[in-house]
Amino acid sequence: MTTYIAKFCASHRIIQIMQHSVFTWKQEGGDIDQELLIGKIKRESSLHFYKLLAGDNYHVDMDDIKIEVSNMKPFYG
C-alpha cells in the first residue's frame, strides 16, 4: 500500500466559505482515479466540514459540494 497526499479546495453551493486543505489516503499502487478521490474527500472531509459550519438547522447535501484537486503525489512523511 502506498500513502498519497492531495491538496484540494472545496466549495459549497450555498455556504460561502471555502475549505482549503490536504487529504491523505492509502491505495494499492497504480493510477489515481480522480473521481473516486473526489468522492472520498467529499464523504470523509468536506461533508463534515460544512456540517460543522452549518449547524443542526441546515441539511448539507454532498451534491452541493464541489471539489477541485490541485496536486497529488505519494506521501513519504
pLDDT tens-digit map of 18-33 = 999 999 999 887 788 8
pLDDT tens-digit map of 51-63 = 999 999 899 999 9
Report in angstroms the alpha-carbon separations of 57 from 8, 23, 44, 53: 27, 28, 21, 11
Domain ranges of the chain: 2-74
pTM of this prediction? Answer: 0.90
Separation of alpha carbons 3 and 62, rounded Å: 25
